[in-house]
Amino acid sequence: MLLGSTPVARILLTGSTAGIGRAAAVALVQQGHEVIVHARDERRAAASAVPGAAGVVTGDLASLEQTRALAAQAAAIGPFDTVVLNAGLARMTATERDLTEDGIESTFQVNTLSAYALAALLPRPRRIVLTSSALAGDGRLDLDDPSYAHRAFHGREAYATTKLHLVLIALGLGRHWPGTDVLAFDPGWVATAMTARNGDRAPLTPEHAGERLARLATGGTVPPDSYDTERAWTPGPSEHDVATQDALLRLCAAQTGISLPA
């Protein structure tokens, strides 16, 4: 049952053509939920279809224009009980930044700004889950230079910092929107195509993490600190700092041109 009351939930799940997201979508469909999956484009949607999914939306999260269009597609299908913002980009070994068509560093745009934009644009659900990571503990918050225009770029640091952003966004949105549970999720070190591209041999399966994510999307309880993990790192005083949360939300609004609804 979703959030203790609804036997069948309508769920939007981004980044669901592979890895953790696809495993979560499969698990949710098997549980009888109405799942709308997301792919970057029509080709990926066709190649990685989730049997039994109620629908699919497409859009490249490295484009603000396509992210807005994706939100419009999803809004036309919704409203949703739960929105899972799982899509992400990792360029862990990169030493040079990669800019999107919007002139924004790609890891920051795909991981942080798209999550903020979709949360702000979609009809507000009862629960939002953002896929973060315990690597958030290694993030370096620099709200004056989020696209690495004035400092050396390190792919792993950029990734960890966006995961820290997602924890801050979850805590900030949860405070601003008391009627919505906003949670951050640490899937653990999972063997996916993303980790393989970065030369990692991770111990956990996508199915393990996907089943956890499916439970979090539909469960009735909220984890401590609004953060679900099987690892040691959890949000501390710096992540719970209200001024820092709001400063990041203002930065996201400025970078996307999308104001946060009250």
- Residues with a known catalytic role: 159, 163
Compute the distance between CA of residue 162 and CA of residue 107 in angstroms, rounded to an integer: 7
In the structure encoding, which two tokens stand for residue 85, read together? 């913002």
Angle at 231 between CA 228 and CA 237, to 5 degrees: 70
Distance separating the N- and C-terminal Cα atoms of the chain = 28
Compute the distance between CA of residue 228 and CA of residue 184 in angstroms, rounded to an integer: 6
**Cβ pair 86, 16 in contact under 8 A:** yes
Say how far residue 173 (Cα) sits from the centre of its chain. Answer: 13
Phi, psi dihedrals of residue 231, rounded to the nearest 5° = -115, 180
